[in-house]
């Protein structure tokens, strides 16, 4: 994890594009740039783009016309000398330029190494570095906004007063350890215990926002299940046609189900149609119930689709029985047909209230959307408030809260200050791990391994 040498990487995605940006960071950034522009005196004004011709330093061949921007240490993303070469976005050209830089002493950057250097040089704290990754990976604009807030330092700004309050409690406890032989007076103990309880509350409240934050970041997994011809694919397509998110790659996509990401009020909704890709009619029949089972296990919410124009079938009952194992909703489809008759379903619904929809006319789809999001009714407030979106932060906040709670309990039980202090120091350390002051090296390595090369 030692930041040594000058690193190079392509900072734009691989593939053909209008421009491709190669980034260099380290003491040799400028000498290496001079080599490419074939001008030993090249002294670009920092932070200003200059149009330069790049050459192969050995053969002298012209490589490209490129916009060269130099950022002088410490005023760069990494805090080191940085050069960005905006070349034409030819993968062959970009690899060739990177190859030349590698031959002349640069080293290929590890995943996230630019951001890691920014962290090592105090340009960012750890939660901000993680926000860089989250911003790049965000699947909805609401997630982008949360990452931007974290990048702006909001997490550390929220933790700072909590840490200060902890220290305000720790200091007198420490001094009473040194100077007072007797126990703390009862009123002081009560006062400290109250303060600890308030602190634990604040930590728990912040940790509690993760329920919303996780949803915002990872999305809500919704599976559409039902017997063949109930209208799963039609509802899937009807929901998609209005809400499809820009990004459609879903991690863990299976071949026999269709997955898409919808954007419902800023929340990425990962919708799975268990009718799946229609390889053949028999395969469809065969896979039906097994696939339904699997989808139900994976989903946060299951939408059981019933054909309201037909009497309920054994298959309908079977699907419902499986769905009842988790959170589920019922959509009674085909409300546009004259044969539509919800009454027939009374008995199979077992008291559950279905949402009446028509995939064909679009009737009821808004109600269905609202029903899917119902437990997250406060999701609109994501827009306004800061939420914890990172599982690591959540875990540390919870551990800090637990440590403060246990110190509070020990204090009330009149345990020695020494023992009370252990939990308080633990809490401080956990909070420090969020922003990186006390994060163990192996955790840092693990965090940065989730970054892409070039970040």
Residues that bind ligand GDP (CB under 6 A): 226, 228-234, 275, 333-334, 336-337, 358-360
Tokens for 218? 């990872």
Tokens for 347? 């008995």
- φ and ψ at 453, to 5 degrees? -70, 140
Q: Min. distance of Cβ 228 from ligand GDP in angstroms?
A: 4
Cβ pair 105, 6 in contact under 8 A: yes
Q: Min. distance of Cβ 358 from ligand GDP in angstroms?
A: 4
The 8-class DSSP code of residue 53 comes to: E
**If you count DSSP H runs as helices and E runs as strands, how many of each does the chain have, helices first?**
16, 12
User: Which CB sits closer to ligand GDP, 17 or 310?
Assistant: 310
Closest CA relative to residue 208, chosen from 403, 399, 394, 338: 394
How far is C-alpha 247 from the geometric centre of its chain's CA atoms? Answer: 14
- Which residues face 85 on adjacent strands? 22, 68
- Which residues face 50 on adjacent strands? 68
- Which residues face 51 on adjacent strands? 67
Q: Min. distance of Cβ 334 from ligand GDP in angstroms?
A: 4
User: Which CB sits closer to ligand GDP, 156 or 335?
Assistant: 335
- Residue 267, classed as helix, strand or coil, is strand
Between helices 210-218 and 141-151, what is the axis angle to 10°?
Answer: 120
Q: Min. distance of Cβ 291 from ligand GDP in angstroms?
A: 12
User: Which CB sits closer to ligand GDP, 236 or 394?
Assistant: 236
Distance CA 157, CA 153 (A): 6
Q: Min. distance of Cβ 395 from ligand GDP in angstroms?
A: 40
Distance CA 4, CA 1 (A): 9
How far is C-alpha 210 from the geometric centre of its chain's CA atoms? Answer: 11
Cβ pair 97, 63 in contact under 8 A: yes
Distance CA 119, CA 134 (A): 16
Q: Min. distance of Cβ 219 from ligand GDP in angstroms?
A: 22
What is the maximum span of the chain, computed from C-alpha positions, in angstroms? 87
Centre a 10 Å sphere on the Cβ of residue 351 and count the other Cβ atoms it contains. Answer: 5
**Which residue matches tokens 């329920």?**
211
Strands (E), 184-314: 220-225, 258-264, 267-273, 301-307
């Amino acid at each position: 994890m030692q930041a040594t040498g000058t690193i190079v990487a392509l900072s734009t995605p691989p593939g053909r594009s209008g421009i491709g940006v190669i980034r260099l960071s380290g003491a040799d950034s400028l000498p290496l740039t001079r080599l490419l522009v074939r001008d030993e005196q090249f002294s670009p004004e920092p932070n200003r783009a200059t149009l330069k011709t790049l050459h192969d330093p050995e053969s002298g061949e012209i490589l490209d016309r490129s916009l060269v921007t130099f950022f002088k240490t410490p005023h760069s993303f990494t805090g080191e000398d940085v050069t960005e070469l905006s070349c034409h976005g030819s993968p062959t050209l970009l690899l060739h330029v990177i190859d030349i830089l590698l031959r002349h002493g640069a080293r290929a950057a590890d995943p996230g190494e630019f951001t890691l250097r920014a962290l090592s040089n105090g340009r960012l704290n750890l939660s901000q570095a993680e926000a860089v990754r989250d911003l790049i990976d965000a699947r909805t604009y609401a997630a982008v906004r949360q990452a931007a807030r974290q990048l702006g330092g909001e997490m550390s700004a929220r933790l700072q007063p909590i840490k200060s309050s902890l220290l305000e409690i720790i200091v007198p406890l420490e001094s009473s350890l040194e100077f007072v032989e007797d126990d703390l007076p009862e009123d002081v103990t009560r006062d400290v215990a109250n303060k600890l309880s308030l602190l634990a509350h604040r930590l728990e409240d912040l940790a509690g926002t993760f329920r919303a934050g996780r949803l915002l970041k990872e999305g809500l997994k919704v599976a559409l299940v039902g017997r063949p011809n109930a209208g799963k694919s039609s509802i899937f397509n009807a929901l998609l046609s209005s809400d499809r998110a820009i990004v459609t790659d879903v991690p863990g996509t299976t071949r026999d189900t269709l997955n898409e990401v919808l954007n419902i009020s800023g929340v990425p909704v990962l919708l799975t149609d268990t009718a799946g890709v229609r390889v053949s009619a028999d395969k469809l029949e065969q896979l039906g119930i097994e696939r339904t089972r699997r989808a139900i296990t994976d989903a946060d919410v299951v939408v059981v689709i019933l054909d309201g124009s037909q009497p309920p079938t054994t298959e309908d009952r079977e699907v419902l029985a499986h769905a009842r194992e988790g959170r589920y909703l019922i959509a009674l489809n085909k409300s546009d047909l004259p044969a539509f008759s919800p009454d027939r379903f009374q008995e199979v619904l077992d008291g559950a209230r279905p949402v009446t929809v028509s995939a064909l006319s679009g009737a009821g789809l808004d109600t269905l959307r609202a029903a899917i999001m119902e437990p997250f009714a406060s999701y609109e407030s994501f827009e306004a408030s800061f939420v914890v979106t990172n599982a690591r932060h959540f875990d540390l906040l919870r551990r800090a809260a637990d440590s403060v709670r246990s110190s509070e309990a020990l204090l009330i039980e009149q345990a020695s200050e020494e023992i009370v202090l252990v939990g308080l120091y633990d809490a401080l350390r956990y909070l420090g791990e969020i922003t990186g002051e006390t994060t163990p090296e192996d955790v840092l390595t693990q965090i940065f391994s989730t970054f892409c090369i070039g970040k």
